[in-house]
Amino acid sequence: MTAPRYKRILLKLSGEALEGTSGNGGIDFPTLGTFCDEIKEVVEMGVEVGLVVGGGNIFRGVQGLETGLDQPTGDYMGMLATVINALAIQASLEKRSVRTRVMTAIEMRPIAEPYIRRRATRHLEKGRVVIFGAGTGNPFFTTDTAAALRANEIGAELVMKATKVDGIYDADPVKNPDAVKYDTLDYTTVLTNKLRVMDATAISLCRENSLPILVFDLTEPGNVVKVLRGETIGTLVKGE
């Protein structure tokens, strides 16, 4: 069996991806199960997996602004939503006999471990999937930034940003059928052209540490495994 292309990855999953096709919020457990089946296959390949999940299927900080909440309060509510998703993923993975740990940036010891970098890397070395919840633990930062931060802290070789499209385009492919897909991009082009990949803070953090980002379609089963086998999918953002 060919060795996987990457030994340690950080997978960024949006909360909306857990909705499935309903778009009605909440967690679609069949969709979650399909995702966890693939993670199990990745772990069985010997790849160490860190995972950051958003909370947009339950609550987004911007919703708080629209209803009169101040941003810090809305952002903290969003962080708690990510923990709900993290626990759901943990339960689904462990049902598949995948050893898992949830670590949170906001301490809530009865349900998860507090995030400690050395402990996180130790869990990864033991073959456990580590799910990082509660973002960075600070308001005004997105879970994209949390993903870039944790990936750099744990020494991941690749950030995999899961989306509902098959890469980065020069325009919205849903609205513009003539939109052109990029196979590769450099960080500066993404920032300069304001391509909606991850927020600017996350892109800058990856650029400063030469950490590549792969934007790919999560709705296509087997894509994570394909990447680890060396197949070319999605759009890779890296240095010039």
pLDDT at residue 69, as a whole number: 87
Look at residue 1 and tell me whether its pLDDT is greater than 90. no
CATH class of 8-238: alpha beta
Encoded tokens for 72: 């810090």
pLDDT at residue 158, as a whole number: 97
Enumerate the domain spans of the chain.
8-238
* CA neighbor of 41 nearest in space, from 101, 93, 89, 6: 93
Look at residue 87 and tell me whether its pLDDT is greater than 90. yes
- State whether residue 23 is helix, strand or coil: coil
Look at residue 164 and tell me whether its pLDDT is greater than 90. no
What is the arithmetic mean of pLDDT over 40-69?
87
Residues contacting 67, CB < 8 A, separation 6+: none
Query: Is the CB of residue 228 less than 8 Å from the CB of residue 4?
Result: yes
Provide the 8-state DSSP code for 141: -
Dihedral over Cα of 38, 98, 78, 9: its sign: negative
Q: Which residue has the higher pLDDT, 197 or 184?
A: 184
* Mean pLDDT score across all residues of the chain: 92
Angle at 192 between CA 187 and CA 193, to 5 degrees: 100
pLDDT at residue 63, as a whole number: 63
Angle at 29 between CA 25 and CA 35, to 5 degrees: 105
pLDDT at residue 65, as a whole number: 65
Encoded tokens for 136: 């960075």
pLDDT in tens, 185-230: 999 999 998 887 889 999 999 999 999 999 998 888 899 999 999 9
Q: How far apart are CA 24 and CA 13, in angstroms?
A: 17
Residues contacting 93, CB < 8 A, separation 6+: 36, 39, 40, 100, 129
Q: What percent of the chain is predicted at pLDDT more than 70?
A: 97
